[in-house]
Amino acid sequence: YGAGERLYRTGDLVRRLADGTLEYRGRADGQVKVRGHRMELGEIESALARHPRVLAAAVAVHGTGVDAVLAGYVTWRDEEGDVRELGDFLRQDLPEYMVPAV
Residue 15 lies inside a defined structural domain of this protein: no
pLDDT digits (tens, 9 = 90+) for 75-93: 999 888 888 999 999 999 9
SS3 (DSSP) at 13? strand
Residue 62 lies inside a defined structural domain of this protein: yes
26: β partners: 13
Name the packing angle between helices 83-91 and 41-49 (round to 10°). 120
Which positions ≥6 away from 13 have C-beta within 8 Å? 24, 25, 26, 27, 28
Residue 94 lies inside a defined structural domain of this protein: yes
pLDDT digits (tens, 9 = 90+) for 7-39: 777 778 888 899 989 888 877 777 888 888 999
Domain extent, residue 81, equals 32-98
Q: Check residue 83 and give left, alpha or beta (phi > 0: left; psi -120 to 50: alpha).
A: alpha
pTM: 0.73
Residue 2 lies inside a defined structural domain of this protein: no
Confidence class of residue 1 from pLDDT cuts 50, 70 and 90? low
Residue 36 lies inside a defined structural domain of this protein: yes
Cα four-point dihedral sign 78, 97, 101, 58: negative
